[in-house]
Structures are given as C-alpha cells and as structure tokens.
Structure 1
Amino acid sequence: MHSIERHVDPGTYRKVVGRFATGVAIVTTRVGDVDHAMTINSFTSVSLEPLLVLFCAEKVSRFHDAVLEAGTWGVSVLPASMEDASRFFAHRGRPMNGQFTRWAHYRGETGVALFEGAIATVECETTAVHDGGDHSIVVGGVSALDMPSEAAPLIYHEGAYKSL
C-alpha cells in the first residue's frame, strides 16, 4: 500500500467533511457485566447480502478494546430529543457506573443495552475489523433490528447538532 502524502490542512479537512450531514447514534457493547457505550456518527449500511453495517471506533477510546473483546454490539439511532444522551456518551472518561440510568433502555437479543427512545436499533456480531488510521472500522453482521419510536432524527452538521 502506498503512503499518502499530506497536502491538505487537517483543520480544513475537518471543515470539509463536516459539511456531510450525518445521523447520530450510540453504539453499545457488554463485556462481562459491564456496559460500554460511545456516541458515533460514523455508522453506515454496507451490504444487503449478507446484511452488514459498520461504524468506526477511535483506537485510543476504552470502547474500542471493549467492543473488539465482546464481539457483539448494538446501535441506537437517536431522535432529536436525545441530544443530551449524545453529548453525555461523547464525553471521554465519564464514570462507567450508572451511565445508563438517565435514559430508558432495555437489553437486546445479544444482551447489549439499547435505548427505548431510539428511532432505530441494530444488533450485530463483528465479522471484520479493518485498520482506518487512528480508528478501526468495525463491520458487523446484523442479527436483530427494531424501530422503537417515531421521531425526527438527530443530525450532526458543520460541528453542531441539528434536526429536520
């Protein structure tokens, strides 16, 4: 693989890719009896046959190692009303104990925590992990789906939360 020469300013790069509006989700996993969660906007459908999705996890996050160890994970796509949850689970170093108590949640088929207020949930088993620079690209086979609520989605665009 060829090394990519950098001719682009990282600050400009962030601004340019920030123009791509994304949905916001919280990805969850469980190792032993400990729940782990992280806010993401790098979630996408990959394949219909087989059913595959992916998200990207920053390698230095504690979630990264937990999700790779667990091998199963869930994604709760957030409605505009759950911006507070998105902000909370995006905060590095927050206490692990009781982190889900502020939001109604349930256990999915894989045992991961999923948010009742989510507009969509997807449960997955990891099928591949690829290097993505300072992130890992985690690909999962879909094992369960749901649409717990009907609401406008939470959107992230140009460094700010927005809604439709």
Structure 2
Amino acid sequence: MLTTEPWLSTAWRLANLYLDSLGAQRLGSQDGELVGLSQDATCFVSLAYFDQTDPFADYVVHEAAHVLHNCRRTALGLPERRQCPTALDIAFHQRETFAYACEAYSRILAMAQDGESRHAALERHKASELPPDERVDHGTYLEILAEAVRARNGWRCITKRCAPS
C-alpha cells in the first residue's frame, strides 16, 4: 500500500499510523499520536481508535468528514458542479473545525434523544477535552455545536458555518 501511495507525505503518515498501532517506534520525529488519516475517498483509522475513552470522539466520523471536502463529487458517484467540485464546499481554514464538529455532533446525537438532552451533552463536552488541535478555534467550534444542537438539521448548520464566506 505504501509503495502505491502517490504522495510521500501520506505514505509517511500512514506508515507512522501503522507503527503507532503496533506500539513500535515511529519513522522520524512527528509529534502527537496519529489515530486517523484520509486521502481522497479512503480513510485509515488506527487500532488505537478502539481504545478511545473520550465519549465525544469518533475518528471514523472525523475522517469521513474530511473525505466530504477532499474527494471530488464524481468519485462519489455525484454529478459534477463547476462551482464546487468536491462533495461539500468547506473553507480551507475550517476543515479541521468541520471534522471535529461532525465528530462531536455525531456522538451527541448518539447519546441524546431530544433537544434538552443534546444541550446537556454539549455542556458535558464543554467541560471535557476539546479538540487538541491548534487549527481549531475552540470558541467557534463550540458556537457551531451549540447552533447544531438547537437546529432541526444540525448537519446543515455545521456545513453552512464552515463554508467559504
């Protein structure tokens, strides 16, 4: 798989994802644990994902969210649109915010059946670990989730808030 990967940086990260899952020493000196990676329409998730104890973490949803803004519509069987060649038009600087918001929102929906319990779940999330990623503004992230929790279609809110201006 590594030898057929067209991007050297992706092959390197994928190798480290695998080595991390084995508890082996990484190639190079990358910081932080890598638990997921997406390239075009393919997602890779480390076995460490299944040891996750954070109730608001879902790396599969996180990586799938990246596919929606990385992958061309035609690769997913959707008709091509000139103004947006990818499945979702997400602002480049909002891509990680989008993925983390999708991840947390999916978990909130899984643990809460109504608006009141979704709001309570969001409050628990605010008091727990927020995304450990400097590319995510926590204030904006929490505003997006609060709007999604209140809305009838939270997914649409997340997409709209992360779209280009």
TM-score (norm 2): 0.25
Normalising by the residue count of structure 1, what TM-score does the alignment of the two structures yield?
0.25
Larger Rg: 2
- Higher RCO (CA-CA < 8 Å; seq separation 6+): 1
- 1 or 2, which has the higher strand percentage? 1
More helix by share: 2
